[in-house]
């Protein structure tokens, strides 16, 4: 329903804007004027991931930017982006980025300096699962998405 989508976008905008604040599903559901259960189900159906997953992706994106600056410790970055547990932050960062926050901070980042932040954000967004990107590339080439390791030509002209 269109009105639900508008309310879900309001909650998503809240996460984008206030990612460093202590946000939880009941608070986000209140912002969307929905029950927590309905909000979680609707959010996942509309955006393809849970509200918590979306929020953590925003936090990791911001953490990557702070770590590239190099003037904050990993612990300071963890708390600056709204995480309350260094262990959970490090685990999620490693899961999404492919390396620990310390390793990410230590690697050189000068090559991306001339790229505008809005463009860099698109290409450095943490991706939980590479399959959707591979599926999108297959569709652009006119093939069916990869299933069981085989690409099949599309029946489309």
pLDDT in tens, 108-142: 876 655 666 666 666 666 666 544 445 445 544 55
CB 135 within 8 A of CB 145: yes
Distance separating alpha carbons of residues 157 and 140, to the nearest angstrom: 13
pTM of the model: 0.68
Distance separating alpha carbons of residues 88 and 90, to the nearest angstrom: 5
Q: Given its phi and psi angles, is residue 48 left (phi above 0), alpha (psi -120 to 50 degrees) or beta?
A: left
Q: What pLDDT digit, counting tens, does each position of 24-66 carry?
A: 999 999 999 999 999 999 999 999 999 999 999 999 999 999 9
**Paired tokens of 68:** 């590239």
3-state helix, strand, coil in the chain (%, to 5): 65, 5, 35
């Amino acid at each position: 329903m269109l009105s639900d989508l508008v309310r879900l976008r309001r909650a998503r905008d809240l996460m984008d804007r206030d990612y460093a604040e202590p946000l939880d599903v009941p608070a986000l559901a209140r912002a969307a004027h929905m029950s927590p259960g309905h909000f979680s189900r609707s959010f996942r159906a509309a955006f393809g991931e849970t509200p918590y997953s979306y929020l953590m992706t925003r936090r990791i994106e911001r953490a990557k930017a702070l770590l590239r600056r190099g003037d904050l410790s990993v612990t300071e970055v963890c708390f600056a982006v709204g995480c309350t547990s260094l262990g959970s932050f490090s685990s999620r960062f490693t899961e999404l980025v492919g390396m620990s926050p310390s390793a990410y901070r230590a690697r050189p980042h000068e090559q991306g300096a001339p790229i505008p932040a809005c463009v860099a954000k698109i290409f450095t967004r943490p991706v939980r699962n590479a399959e959707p990107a591979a599926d999108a590339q297959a569709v652009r080439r006119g093939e069916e998405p990869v299933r069981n390791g085989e690409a099949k030509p599309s029946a489309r002209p």
